[in-house]
Protein backbone atom coordinates (compact mmCIF):
# COMPACT_ATOMS: atom_id res chain seq x y z
CA UNK A 1 0.00 0.00 0.00
CA UNK A 2 2.98 2.32 0.51
CA UNK A 3 3.77 2.39 -3.22
CA UNK A 4 0.18 3.51 -3.91
CA UNK A 5 0.38 6.07 -1.04
CA UNK A 6 -2.81 4.57 0.39
CA UNK A 7 -2.22 3.32 3.93
CA UNK A 8 -4.51 0.51 5.06
CA UNK A 9 -6.59 0.88 8.22
CA UNK A 10 -7.17 -2.21 10.37
CA UNK A 11 -8.05 -3.06 13.96
CA UNK A 12 -5.40 -4.77 16.06
CA UNK A 13 -6.49 -7.98 17.77
CA UNK A 14 -9.45 -8.48 15.41
CA UNK A 15 -7.85 -10.81 12.81
CA UNK A 16 -7.78 -7.95 10.27
CA UNK A 17 -4.16 -8.80 9.37
CA UNK A 18 -2.02 -11.94 9.28
CA UNK A 19 -1.96 -13.87 12.53
CA UNK A 20 0.82 -12.49 14.71
CA UNK A 21 1.42 -9.34 12.67
CA UNK A 22 -0.74 -7.23 14.96
CA UNK A 23 1.39 -8.34 17.92
CA UNK A 24 4.48 -7.04 16.14
CA UNK A 25 2.85 -3.77 15.16
CA UNK A 26 2.09 -3.10 18.84
CA UNK A 27 5.86 -2.88 19.43
CA UNK A 28 6.35 -0.10 16.88
CA UNK A 29 6.60 3.68 17.20
CA UNK A 30 4.99 6.25 14.90
CA UNK A 31 7.03 6.64 11.72
CA UNK A 32 8.97 3.41 12.28
CA UNK A 33 9.46 0.96 9.40
CA UNK A 34 9.92 -2.70 10.36
CA UNK A 35 10.21 -6.04 8.57
CA UNK A 36 8.20 -8.83 10.19
CA UNK A 37 8.79 -12.49 9.34
CA UNK A 38 5.90 -14.86 10.10
CA UNK A 39 5.29 -18.56 9.48
CA UNK A 40 4.13 -19.08 5.89
CA UNK A 41 0.84 -20.78 6.76
CA UNK A 42 -1.19 -17.57 6.73
CA UNK A 43 -1.23 -13.97 5.65
CA UNK A 44 -3.23 -11.49 3.66
CA UNK A 45 -2.73 -8.10 2.08
CA UNK A 46 0.65 -6.98 0.71
CA UNK A 47 3.32 -9.52 1.56
CA UNK A 48 6.32 -11.41 0.21
CA UNK A 49 6.37 -15.19 0.53
CA UNK A 50 9.58 -17.23 0.38
CA UNK A 51 9.75 -19.46 -2.69
CA UNK A 52 9.22 -22.56 -0.52
CA UNK A 53 6.28 -20.94 1.32
CA UNK A 54 7.94 -21.37 4.71
CA UNK A 55 7.74 -17.72 5.80
CA UNK A 56 5.88 -14.54 4.93
CA UNK A 57 7.54 -11.14 5.26
CA UNK A 58 5.65 -7.89 5.83
CA UNK A 59 7.35 -4.52 5.67
CA UNK A 60 5.25 -2.18 7.78
CA UNK A 61 5.40 1.59 8.22
CA UNK A 62 3.36 2.75 11.21
CA UNK A 63 1.73 5.98 10.04
CA UNK A 64 -0.70 6.71 12.90
CA UNK A 65 -3.37 5.16 15.09
CA UNK A 66 -6.44 5.95 17.15
CA UNK A 67 -6.15 4.81 20.75
CA UNK A 68 -9.03 2.62 21.92
CA UNK A 69 -9.74 2.05 25.62
CA UNK A 70 -12.17 -0.52 27.03
CA UNK A 71 -13.42 1.69 29.85
CA UNK A 72 -15.26 -1.03 31.82
CA UNK A 73 -12.91 -3.88 30.80
CA UNK A 74 -15.90 -5.86 29.48
CA UNK A 75 -16.47 -4.38 26.01
CA UNK A 76 -19.48 -2.41 27.25
CA UNK A 77 -18.02 1.10 26.97
CA UNK A 78 -15.26 1.63 24.40
CA UNK A 79 -13.50 4.98 24.02
CA UNK A 80 -11.54 5.98 20.90
CA UNK A 81 -9.18 8.89 21.57
CA UNK A 82 -9.54 11.00 18.43
CA UNK A 83 -7.30 13.84 19.63
CA UNK A 84 -5.00 13.82 22.63
CA UNK A 85 -5.86 16.20 25.42
CA UNK A 86 -3.50 18.35 27.44
CA UNK A 87 -2.52 18.17 31.07
CA UNK A 88 -2.74 15.26 33.47
CA UNK A 89 -5.92 16.05 35.39
CA UNK A 90 -9.19 14.21 34.78
CA UNK A 91 -12.68 14.88 36.15
CA UNK A 92 -13.86 12.75 39.06
CA UNK A 93 -16.98 10.58 39.13
CA UNK A 94 -19.14 13.31 40.74
CA UNK A 95 -17.68 16.36 38.94
CA UNK A 96 -19.81 18.52 36.66
CA UNK A 97 -18.29 18.75 33.18
CA UNK A 98 -18.74 21.04 30.18
CA UNK A 99 -18.28 19.45 26.77
CA UNK A 100 -19.38 19.37 23.16
CA UNK A 101 -21.29 16.26 22.07
CA UNK A 102 -20.94 15.85 18.33
Q: What is the pLDDT of residues 14-72, one digit of tens each?
A: 888 888 899 999 999 999 999 999 987 654 545 566 667 688 899 999 999 999 999 99
pLDDT at 89: 93
**pLDDT for 40:** 77
Kindly indicate the confidence band of residue 5, based on its pLDDT and cuts at 50, 70 and 90.
confident
Q: Is the pLDDT of residue 94 over 70?
A: yes
Q: Does 3 score more than 80 pLDDT?
A: no
The pLDDT value given to residue 39: 87
Total length of the chain = 102
Where are any strands of DSSP class E within the chain? 33-39, 48-49, 55-61, 67-70, 78-81
pLDDT for 50? 67
Check if the beta carbon of residue 68 is closer than 8 Å to that of residue 78. Answer: yes
Global confidence as pTM: 0.69
81, 67 Cβ separation under 8 angstroms: yes
Amino acid sequence: TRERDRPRTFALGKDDVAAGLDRGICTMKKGEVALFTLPGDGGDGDFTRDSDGSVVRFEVELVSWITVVDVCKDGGVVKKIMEKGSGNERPGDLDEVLGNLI
